Structure 1
């Protein structure tokens, strides 16, 4: 058996988010929602890149996200710099704002794109809840599940935890005695109930390579990095290498 063509890269957290967002934007079902049907893209550091690759504009990191872990605290981005909200796609018309009215129009196959705060080895993901009523995801999930909508969750392996079910039993607003920042709850999205896209999935989606995390960590600007080996046809591996090189030198900054 001939050896597959391969490459080894260091992917920093911001680059992993950019790559994951690019892959989600490239999905056929997401591309179709630019022109027909309904879709919501909720703000986060990763979904920012979905918007960038889908529409060619940058909503900004702090301007687009609401919840944010920063300065060793759980919290939110400042209201003064926050943008007008999620991107709303309604039969080819694009606007921004609170998604509840558009969610009322959702039907089978309509899409809700939302980042996450955790993923575990079994493929379960979780979203931290700063709102006492569950925020936009608390409104969206019942509608998506009741009507056959599609939940797409881009989340990088920087957020890997041992077990989402175990974390669920530990969190809740009002049950923690000391909190660095804002008290939070957690909502689980069980494996199979959403399309979860990590940087490993992104490489397969974009270029059909087979990718494997072989090491983690680093210092200085490589803190939290993943060392990833990917392999496949020579043209696919070289295409993936070029994509990473391009986003590293010409992509959005992580600020």
Structure 2
């Protein structure tokens, strides 16, 4: 039985910051920072994880490839300032391609890749516009074969009824019409999925419930959460959420047409 409750709202960008701060505290990530390899794939959530790991701000829009904006799916492959996946070895950034780092991966190393969908069983999935599966298509075999750690940050704004069902109805060559770049959907198993719920639960030893979503005037995609637990823990969690307020929205990446 709970002893205290808090009712909080997080915009999608505040959620991204929360999830990123939780991910860098995961035992698997802390271990890899000290003794192994970490690869952070590009994405609109992983850019926040990259900032937290590097300990410095970056132009996050340059760390985004495929994305949804202006009501369509887009790719930003023509961005001259594009930042490629970030590779760390024992906490030090390496000037090598992610594929080179994957060749060195062991079971204790960590690959961080955002998701485009998550269901209420915390099964996650990733869009694939590239015919060969893009980043996840070229990495997943190595990660599974070696038993490496796959960490997937994904906000509850991306919740769908069922990943299993959604996969049955996708495929980038299967549509007659498409608003933007058509994509298939890859379901992911054996991943550590981190939403706002897992983030707050792990950081503050509380129970978290997703009770509402949506908003207007900049709060589109916001999630409403109830936090329950010991008074001191709920207070800390609430104060932490308040500290995230004001996180700036991401802008359209270079290469996305203006409205």
| Shared fold, TM over 0.5 | yes
| Residue-pair matches, total | 251
Q: Which residue of 1 aligns with 2:4?
A: 5
CA contact (8 A) 1:207 1:240 kept: yes
Distance 1:239 1:96, change over 3 A: farther
Structure having greater relative contact order (Cα 8 Å, sep ≥ 6): 2
Distance 1:202 1:57, change over 3 A: same
Runs of 4+ in structure 1 over 4 Å off: none
Distance 1:161 1:199, change over 3 A: same
Deviates more, 1:174-183 or 1:96-105: 96-105
Q: Which residue of 2 aligns with 1:139?
A: 138
Q: Which residue of 2 aligns with 1:120?
A: 119
Deviates more, 1:63-72 or 1:227-236: 227-236
Matched, 1:197 2:194: yes
Q: Distance in 2 between matches of 1:210 and 1:27?
A: 18
Distance 1:235 1:254, change over 3 A: farther
Task: Determine helix, strand or coil for the equivalent of 2:211.
Answer: strand
Q: Which residue of 2 aligns with 1:234?
A: 231
Alpha-carbon distance, 1:151 to partner: 0.5
Question: What are the superposed Cα offsets for residues 184-221 of structure 1, whole Å, 9 maximum, x if unpaired?
Answer: 1111113xx11001001100111111111122222222
Q: Distance in 1 between matches of 2:135 and 2:126?
A: 11
Structure 1 counterpart of 2:219, from 217, 222, 225? 222
Q: How well do the aligned residues superpose, as a CA RMSD in angstroms?
A: 1.7
Q: Which residue of 2 aligns with 1:58?
A: 57
Q: Distance in 2 between matches of 1:178 and 1:8?
A: 41
Distance 1:58 1:79, change over 3 A: farther
- Describe how 1:1-255 pairs up with structure 2 within 5 A: 4-77=3-76, 79-95=78-94, 98-190=97-189, 193-249=190-246, 251=247, 253-255=249-251
Unaligned runs of 5+ in 1: none
Q: Distance in 2 between matches of 1:154 and 1:60?
A: 19
Unaligned runs of 5+ in 2: 252-259
